[in-house]
Structure 1
Amino acid sequence: MTSQPPSDAGSAVPAPPSPWNLPNALTVLRILMVPIYGWLLLTDEGNDVDMRWWACGVFVLAMITDRLDGDIARARGLVTDFGKLADPIADKALTGMGFIGLSLIGDLWWWVTFLVLFREIGITVLRLVIIRYGVMPASRGGKLKTTLQAVALGLMTAPLGGLWETSAIVVMAAAVAVTLATGVDYVLKARAMVVAGRS
């Protein structure tokens, strides 16, 4: 009696999800909203109150898409390498526009913008350099950093004063601290990935 070859049906590796999906579409939409936010914020050098409110609305909507794309991707198993790479880039483009725009209209110190953008650009370049060893996803600290930056930039974009302005400065200070700390953490993780990949 001849033996049957073992079936490999149970060990088949599922095909990775297509990058053409809703979460990635939301990520691309967020990137497209960046110039719209910037134009609204910079209209009349930031002195048009109505435009500032519109800018704040666009910014908040863009950050909502950031939450939605991640939740949908995880819930439906649509996490892709494109999403892991494009999502943080979209976040950095939006927040970068916020930092630069607010500094251009005099609502945020330029040294804060330079410090944050140096970290953000540096980590983005680092991700691209080590991509041969794998995609480095956003960490919990990185997500906290994005949340703090988003809250601070949203408060500063809205034409509010008094206690709201003070709150924005406090949140921004926390965002800068977490931004620098997570930058160091990403560098250490990247080094570990390179060492593991070469061994």
Structure 2
Amino acid sequence: MNTTATEPGATRGASAPPLLNIANVLTVLRLILVPVFIWLMLQPGHGMRLAATIVFVVAAITDKLDGQLARSRGLITSFGKIADPIADKALTLSAFILLSVAGRLWWWVTIVIVVRELGITVMRFVMLRRAVMAASRGGKLKTTLQMIGIIGLLVPWTMFLPELFAEVLTAIAYAAIGAALVVTVVTGVDYVLQARRIARGEETV
């Protein structure tokens, strides 16, 4: 992700980084891949679901790469700060919704995660008028668990493995989703408490 304005790369050099740079290109690519992923997931057959999984993994990789490049090369831009979280949420939340549509995930889990992710994102943007809210301590863990769970449920394991092994990997994916749900809620509460401290003038970032 290229959303952290306080990274060393953000202040490197006297001039602002160009809008057209590799980090922003990767962010735009991720945005383009989201509707491709959605379309593939809505098609019948294990082959299409495998293709959707591959698209999701590629998009997830661009999420990691664009942040690393933006920070290391001083390519953090205002566009990236806005587009990157939008691309992240569009990819992840569409996956949760489509898994529920496909009957692979309980709707209540998806609703809790969607409400938390959108609510905290909006709150962070609103709080920018007062301070930049620091990333939650469990943010990386939350993202990792969500990705493991999503990919584990997306992959049509029975195409490659006996049913028993497929069931074991699916169970691991559900366990990751369960852990992700807990961390998602806990980090959401952490953000709300942080916003309250900022609003009361008890914390400056």
Query: For this structure pair, what is the TM-score category when the shorter chain's length is used for normalisation?
Result: 0.7 to 0.9
Structure 2: gaps spanning 5 or more residues:
1-12, 158-165
Shift of 1:138: 3.9
Give the equivalent residue in structure 2 for 1:132. Answer: 129
Shift of 1:29: 1.3
Per-residue CA shift, 1:46-69, capped at 9, x if unaligned?
A: xx0100110110000000001101
Q: How many residues align?
A: 184
Give the equivalent residue in structure 2 for 1:96. Answer: 93
1:55/1:86 Cα in 2 relative to 1: closer, same or farther (>3 Å)?
same
Give the equivalent residue in structure 2 for 1:105. Answer: 102
8 Å contact kept, 1:133–1:193: yes
TM-score, normalised with respect to structure 1: 0.83
TM-score, normalised with respect to structure 2: 0.81
Structure 1: gaps spanning 5 or more residues:
1-12
Q: Given residue 81 of structure 2, which amino acid in structure 1 is its aligned partner?
A: K
Structure 2 CA distance, aligned partners of 1:166 and 1:16? 48
Per-residue CA shift, 1:8-66, capped at 9, x if unaligned?
A: xxxxx93443443221221121111111111111212xxx0100110110000000001
SS at 1:43 equivalent = coil
Structure 1 CA distance, aligned partners of 2:74 and 2:135? 17
Give the equivalent residue in structure 1 for 2:33. Answer: 33
Q: Percent of pairs identical after alignment?
A: 51
Residue from 186, 189, 196 that aligns with 2:191? 186
Give the equivalent residue in structure 2 for 1:23. Answer: 23
Q: Given residue 188 of structure 1, which amino acid in structure 2 is its aligned partner?
A: L
8 Å contact kept, 2:41–2:52: yes
RMSD: 2.3
Q: Given residue 20 of structure 1, which amino acid in structure 2 is its aligned partner?
A: L
Residue from 152, 167, 172 that aligns with 1:155? 152
Structure 1 CA distance, aligned partners of 2:25 and 2:197? 32
Structure 2 CA distance, aligned partners of 1:171 and 1:182? 16
Give the equivalent residue in structure 1 for 2:69. Answer: 72
